[in-house]
Amino acid sequence: MNKLDASILAVLKEDARITPETIAVMLGKRPDEIKKSVSDMEKSGVIAKYTVLVNEEKAGGDGVQALIEVKVSPQFSRGFDSIAEDIYQFDEVKSVYLMSGAYDLAVFIEGGTLREVAGFVSEKLSVMDKVLSTATHFILKKYKSDGVVLQGEKLKRLAVTQ
């Protein structure tokens, strides 16, 4: 990746809606250079997706999100890749990461209810051949996500008086 691509990515990470013309002005380049660079990064998979960050609490979302730590037995000659592929095929799974530490994989899932998430863990994930154990952590509240503070107003603590 060249310096221009890295600069474009830095701008797009902050706001993917910025037009190539605006990026060109910001970087002192021609819009056609920016368009070609973005197109090349899309084709090569460097830019995998454009997305929007939603503050679910303000949007009235009632879904349930969880982080599941998964300990697995890696497959010979495939390592962790095969089991990770099996896990990320489920619709509930939003992200899968290979981790260091006590657990091998971090799996982020979304469901409509606690029961759905629990059902996913007990009926789909835990019963997989190579899964040795899981630890499920429900996300109760998001304060910051993808570098964006989601809680607009800080809570004011009451003064302690005697």
Domains and CATH numbers, the chain: 3-44 (1.10.10), 56-141 (3.30.70.920)
In whole angstroms, give the CA distance from residue 29 to residue 31.
Answer: 7
pTM recorded for the entire structure: 0.79
In whole angstroms, give the CA distance from residue 65 to residue 21.
Answer: 38
Would you give per-residue pLDDT tens digits along the chain (162 residues)?
Answer: 899 999 999 999 989 999 999 999 999 999 999 999 999 999 999 999 998 888 887 888 778 999 999 999 988 888 899 999 999 999 999 999 999 999 999 999 999 999 999 999 999 999 999 999 999 999 998 888 888 888 765 555 566 666
Contacting residues for 56 by C-beta, under 8 A, at least 6 apart: 63, 142
